[in-house]
């Protein structure tokens, strides 16, 4: 009697992966979402603004020359000479690196511009044009619009009051979207220039700039929103792939496909290995594709990015297998997917809108992965700077994959 040759484990795993690929292609919902995600995220990247407006445009009313003129009589009484008054009129208060002054004739116009009912434009010659949107005026074709979100209105006696040591107040108008820290900075700017207008020194001595800047000084070199979004697109694609892979695992368990396969030479270990490899490969290829579409690879970072995407794909495959094993139906799977993926999104938004990340955010498994993607593509980090986060991502990947394999193996045996 002829004994058939033994089938190798590699062939068995390969056959299961081919079957998974056919099932993946038949699931039109997740296939459509995957293709839509790749296309829409790629398009979104290229339409995002690539410029950073680092200067704050500050509207001032009335113009500086008029402020000096209104306080002329009071300054004369305080002993200011005509030469000193001429110096004040010629003073340039827009020499701050991060503040650009725009002088408006009236408080009413300033309020309308900040409220958005009027628009302010600057021509190539430097002239200012005002467009009344409510009246249906056409937009100037050869002018650049100025986005005014902050404005200051000075009283007529401002200079004389400050010069004489009296209290004076100004009105600060701000759009609701202006952060509180920017408003506080403008208050300091008003105070400083008030003393300058009055010809007096500040009552405090400020330290040198190098003594108050912590970390790298990004003045003039800030990253645009497009640059910050570039690495996160790969993260979002890996997250989307989690839903598709979880659906594949859940479908096989519900339809008891794995039970039918057990009459073949396949063992549970083959099934689990095929799921890990298939999910990792699919996520890895999609992550690489989106990074190619947005031009993230360079001759210096390609190998490091390959490694990061591979670890990220393994991590999200482990999450997907946990979701697929836990869900008992489409609705259960969707709920579990949201419960798992929403916390994984938190580090991405923390990096996109930077600040000091809370300690609990650092404990989320996706935190080191997001940090790696941001560090390599935005901050141009190398292997030495990335090793701690690489080790943390690898550890989380092993833990999640180990947990998912244990849960899935127990689930298969219970069928």
Q: Where are the alpha helices (DSSP H) in 48-153?
A: 64-70, 72-77, 82-89, 107-115
Q: Against a cut of 0.85, is the pTM above it?
A: no
pLDDT of the residue at 394? 94
Show the tokens assigned to 392: 């943390």
pLDDT of the residue at 212? 46
Residue 20 CA, distance from chain mean position: 35
Half-sphere exposure of 410 (CA within 13 A, CB side): 8
CA distance 237 to 373: 13
Residue 100 CA, distance from chain mean position: 26
Q: Which residue has the tokens 């004040």?
A: 88
* Residue 216 vs residues 7, 311, 340: alpha-carbon distances, Å: 59, 29, 35
Answer left, alpha or beta for residue 48, where phi above 0 means left and psi between -120 and 50 means alpha: beta
Paired residues of 8 in beta bridges: none
pLDDT of the residue at 309? 94
Show the tokens assigned to 245: 């892979």
User: Do 313 and 240 form a contact (C-beta atoms < 8 A)?
Assistant: no
pLDDT of the residue at 206? 44
Q: What is the pLDDT along the chain (415 residues), one digit of tens a residue?
A: 444 455 678 888 888 888 888 878 777 777 787 788 788 877 877 877 666 555 677 777 787 777 777 766 666 666 666 676 666 666 555 545 566 777 788 888 888 888 777 888 878 777 777 787 766 677 777 777 777 777 788 776 776 676 666 776 777 777 766 666 666 666 666 666 666 655 555 444 444 444 444 444 454 456 667 777 888 888 988 888 888 888 888 877 777 777 776 667 778 888 888 888 998 999 999 999 988 888 888 888 899 999 999 999 999 999 988 888 876 666 777 787 888 888 888 888 887 766 555 778 888 999 999 989 988 888 788 899 899 999 999 999 999 998 888 888 888 777 6
Residue 158 CA, distance from chain mean position: 42
pLDDT of the residue at 29? 75
């Amino acid at each position: 009697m002829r004994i058939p040759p033994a089938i190798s484990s590699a062939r068995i795993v390969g056959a299961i992966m081919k079957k998974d690929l056919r099932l993946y292609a038949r699931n039109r919902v997740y296939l459509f979402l995957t293709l839509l995600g790749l296309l829409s995220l790629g398009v979104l990247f290229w339409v995002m603004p690539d410029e950073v407006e680092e200067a704050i445009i500050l509207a001032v009313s009335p113009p500086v020359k008029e402020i000096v003129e209104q306080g002329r009589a009071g300054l004369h009484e305080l002993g200011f000479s005509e030469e000193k008054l001429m110096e004040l009129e010629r003073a340039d208060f827009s020499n701050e690196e991060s503040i650009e002054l725009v002088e408006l004739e009236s408080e009413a116009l300033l309020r309308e511009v900040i409220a958005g009912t009027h628009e302010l434009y600057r021509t190539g010659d430097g002239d200012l044009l005002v467009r009344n949107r409510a009246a249906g005026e056409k937009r100037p074709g050869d002018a650049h619009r100025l986005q005014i979100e902050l404005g200051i209105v000075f009283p007529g006696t401002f200079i004389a009051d400050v010069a004489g040591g009296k209290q004076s107040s100004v009105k600060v108008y701000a759009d609701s979207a202006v952060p509180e820290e920017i408003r506080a900075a403008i208050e300091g700017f008003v105070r400083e220039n008030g003393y300058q207008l009055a010809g007096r020194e500040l009552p405090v001595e400020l330290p040198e700039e190098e003594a108050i800047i912590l970390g790298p000084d990004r003045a003039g070199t800030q990253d645009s929103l497009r640059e910050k979004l570039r690495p996160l697109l790969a993260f979002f694609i890996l997250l989307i792939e989690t839903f598709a892979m979880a659906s594949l695992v859940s479908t096989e368990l519900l339809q008891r496909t794995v039970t039918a396969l057990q009459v073949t030479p396949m063992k549970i270990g083959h099934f689990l290995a095929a799921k890990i490899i298939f999910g990792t490969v699919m996520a890895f290829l999609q992550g690489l594709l989106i990074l190619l579409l947005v031009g993230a690879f360079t001759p210096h970072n390609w190998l490091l990015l390959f490694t990061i995407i591979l670890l990220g794909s393994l991590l999200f495959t482990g999450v997907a297998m946990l979701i697929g094993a836990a869900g008992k139906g489409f609705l259960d799977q969707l709920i579990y997917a949201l419960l798992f993926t929403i916390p994984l999104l938190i580090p991405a938004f923390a990096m996109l809108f930077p600040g000091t990340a809370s300690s609990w955010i650092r404990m989320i498994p996706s935190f080191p992965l997001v940090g790696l993607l941001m560090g390599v593509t935005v901050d141009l980090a190398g292997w030495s700077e990335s090793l701690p986060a690489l080790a943390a991502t690898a550890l989380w990947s092993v833990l999640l994959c180990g947990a998912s394999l244990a849960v899935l193996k127990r689930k298969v045996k219970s069928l």
